[in-house]
A = this chain, B = another copy of it.
Amino acid sequence: MNKLLVVGTVAFDAIETPFGKTMKILGGSGTYVGLAASQFEVQTGIVSVVGGDFPNSYLEILHSKGINTQGIEIIKEGKTFFWSGKYHNDMNSRNTLITELNVLEDFKPFVPAGFKDANIVMLGNLHPLVQNSVIEQMSKKPTLIVLDTMNFWMNIALDELHAVLKKVDVITINDEEARQLSGEYSLVNAAKKIHEMGPKYVVIKKGEHGALLFNEGNMFFAPALPLAEVFDPTGAGDTFAGGFCGYLAKTGDISFENMKNAIIYGSNLASFCVEKFGTERMQELTSDEVTKRLQAFKDLTQFNIKLS
């Protein structure tokens, strides 16, 4: 079985949307990536850090999905990373209410021996130096290194971000951040500039407007599934990345044609993630549901024009 190594946050989230609000619940980019990837026959390991306040039951959720948590360091005297946010009525914008870095502040990622030869490495949204440290711990060059980042790191660690970008194959980034990183408004031009920074593949996430995959003149688009209700968008981007990486890890095929399928799977899984608060929907999601929704994506996008 192919191995997927994920570095990202494992955290507490408190979320408020027009539909309600939660207490501190299980969250974090590593969590969402891992849960999404667990839909595929892949050995997934998460590298992260939590505090002594992190409930064992949350780790059990990950274990129950076959996710290896050896790489999740528990700092007994520390507190788990906590994020709280409130979504506006349109669900497309949100305010961060609280960010407590806690144990994340001095996070030194440790890659367990069993994952130093992972086929695919997903570097979740963390400081570029942390991302780089994971790459350096690999004993074997991975088939594919995927990196996610955000404007925060562009603002405070741009040089380090550029350094790690030279080592990665795929970047996943949202549209506004792609514009910031490249200085280009057009996403086509932005992808071209980011490509020159290192990644052969550029995935631009546009939230409810879908995702674009670019690779040297090739371009593919996966829409988001239009939904009657978006309950909570938290984790949708990470779930998308987890579906993308999980599918590529399972198939072991990193051709552009197969990456198309991978971003469709990413979009597929993300469409479930937003249906309930936090990780709730991803915890209960079955492969039958995923397969059925794949048909919805085909119906949504596939056409058959016969040229006369």
Contact = CB atoms under 8 A, between A and B. Distances in A.
Interface in A277-308: 291, 294, 299-305, 307
Nearest to A18: B185
Q: How large is the interface on A (under 10, 10 to 19, 20 to 34, 35 or more residues)?
A: 35 or more
B186 A227 contact: yes
A90 interface: yes
A229 interface: yes
B294 A305 contact: yes
A101 interface: no
A262 to B, nearest CB: 10
Interface string A178-222: 000000011111000000000000000010011010000011110
A212 B186 contact: no
Given A206-B209, A209-B206, A188 B302 contact: no
Given A206-B209, A221-B300, A294-B307, A226 B90 contact: no
Q: How many copies altogether? A: 2
A264 B220 CA distance: 15
Contact of A221 (B189, B301, B305): B301
B212 A221 contact: no
A303 B188 contact: no
Contacts of A223: 210, 221, 223
Contact of A220 (B218, B260, B299): B299
